[in-house]
Amino acid sequence: MEARYLPQIDMPPLDLPSSIQAALADADKRLAHRPKLQRLFRNCFPNTLETTTKLLADGTTFVITGDIPASWLRDSVEQVIHYIPYAKGDSDLQRIISGLIKRHTEYVLIDPYANAFNESANEWHWDPSDETDMSPWVWERKFEIDSLCFVIRLVYSYWQATQTTDIFTGDFRRAMRVIVELFKREQRHAEQSPYRFARHNGVQEDTLGNNGLGMPVNYTGMIWSGFRSSDDACEFHYNIPGNMFAVVTLRQMQEIATEVYRDLSFREELRQLELEVERGIKLYGIYRHPQFGPIYAYETDGYGNYCLMDDAGTPGLLSIPYLGYTGSDDPIYQNTRRFALSKENPFHFEGKAAQGIGSPHTPPGYIWHMALSMQGLTASCNEEKLAMIAMLEATDADTGYMHEGFLADDPHVYTREWFAWSNSLFSQLILQALEEDIL
């Protein structure tokens, strides 16, 4: 991200809930034979709660991304998702997560096209000159299909873990309706969508072409997205991992509509939309690669053009099983994974210190810690998982934390010293390895 002045926000220290303290103590014992990994987990696991989380007087929770004083819908979910398994018997942790759900609900009702929000209607914006329909609540208004999917992911995961239903308010039901109406509208973006976005900072990845409308697409049944999970503009606006995530989201919303709201008509509406998006993925989202066979494309426009790459952000091709769209044993996913982890992926880099997936969001040759963590989380064998943990352990630049991107030849050259999402994803991998008793 470009260097610029960022306003500061007061983040008072938050006492760690008892379940999180207990999890830290347990991991401390189990990792005692690997002191550096022990230190990394001790720092990274509570990082979101210790540095980015604020409990507000209205009962909501505000979670900043780290070194930027705004709350991304996507980031804030992934920053706390590793705490969900500990929430059932911990009222303090429930207050934190349910408060975040309440605040997400409010944000969706304010503007479902925005990706990042302020703590209050303070008029703070990443770029005040953006040409789009801004709100004083909105930090940035890049429409990314995954933002709304992550909102549902948090609600569904929390519900499944705790079996509490007080999060399913009338406002949340309205937010679900807003999300569905937006998804339907963006199936026919050019004809029906009011969304436009242009930024005149000279960075092509930061703006949409065609007077803010984006490049033309054909109708496929999939949902249009302006930007990727990296906040970079889509090349072709049907992002396949994002639409896979939408399929999972629509399935989760069907469960909520049925079991919580007892609304069978809404369930059938959600089911029909799921089938339309899924059909679009099957018909338009698979590319016959001459080396790897059928693989999932990263993006397409529905006219036969494809973007063949993978990005370190989630959702990405590597993270398909993590999102729950398909298992890691899916043959097309296996082909796709081999592609994403090869030189055929233009954002897969190899250097003296590491090899892995980066992003057009950072300079060439920079590998993302999140990509290494995701590779470990989706690995089908212990050897690969342990190799990723070793690589993460070796590339923290002796800071005790994960970063965004680091130079493949020298991990001491890196971006974003304080990036809580990366710390949380790393923690998920370590927790998984501990649960599987392979460390």
Q: Are 327 and 378 in contact (CB under 8 A)?
A: no
Average pLDDT over residues 56-64: 97
User: What are the tens digits of pLDDT across the range 103-125?
Assistant: 999 999 999 999 999 999 999 99
pLDDT reported for residue 1: 39
Examine residue 357 and state whether it is found in any structural domain, yes or no: no
Average pLDDT over residues 302-321: 98
Predicted TM-score (pTM) of the model is: 0.96
Number of domains observed in the structure of the chain: 1
CATH of residue 79's domain is 1.50.10.10
Higher pLDDT among residues 5 and 409, named by residue:
409
What is the radius of gyration, based on Cα positions, of the chain?
Answer: 21
Is the preceding peptide bond at 7 cis, omega within 30 degrees of 0?
no
CA dihedral 176, 179, 180, 181 (to 10 degrees): 120
Examine residue 77 and state whether it is found in any structural domain, yes or no: yes
Average pLDDT over residues 182-190: 98
Measured from the Cβ of residue 436, the count of other Cβ atoms closer than 10 Å reads 10
CA dihedral 407, 410, 415, 416 (to 10 degrees): 140
CA distance 39 to 46: 12
CA distance 261 to 267: 10
pLDDT band at 10 (very low <50, low <70, confident <90, very high): confident
Across 10-14, 34-38, 229-233, 276-280, least confident range:
10-14
Examine residue 280 and state whether it is found in any structural domain, yes or no: yes
Average pLDDT over residues 149-178: 98
Average pLDDT over residues 338-353: 98
pLDDT band at 9 (very low <50, low <70, confident <90, very high): confident
- Percent of the chain whose predicted confidence (pLDDT) is above 70: 99
Residue 5 has pLDDT above 70, yes or no: no
User: What are the tens digits of pLDDT across the range 372-425?
Assistant: 999 999 999 999 999 999 999 999 999 999 999 999 999 999 999 999 999 999
Examine residue 21 and state whether it is found in any structural domain, yes or no: no
Measured from the Cβ of residue 289, the count of other Cβ atoms closer than 10 Å reads 17
Which residues, in sequence order, are bridge partners of residue 117?
71, 138
Examine residue 127 and state whether it is found in any structural domain, yes or no: yes
Average pLDDT over residues 306-316: 97
Examine residue 160 and state whether it is found in any structural domain, yes or no: yes
Examine residue 83 and state whether it is found in any structural domain, yes or no: yes
Q: Which domain holds residue 127?
A: 54-60+67-345
User: What are the tens digits of pLDDT across the range 253-310?
Assistant: 999 999 999 999 999 999 999 999 999 999 999 999 999 999 999 999 999 999 999 9
Q: How far is CA 299 from CA 217, 241, 277, 330, 348, in A?
A: 11, 8, 14, 19, 17
Pick from 185, 213, 219, 212: nearest CA to 198: 212
Crossing angle for the helix pair 91-110 and 73-80, to the nearest 10 degrees: 170
Angle, alpha carbons 273-279-285 (nearest 5°): 120
Q: Are 182 and 193 in contact (CB under 8 A)?
A: no
pLDDT reported for residue 4: 54
Examine residue 251 and state whether it is found in any structural domain, yes or no: yes
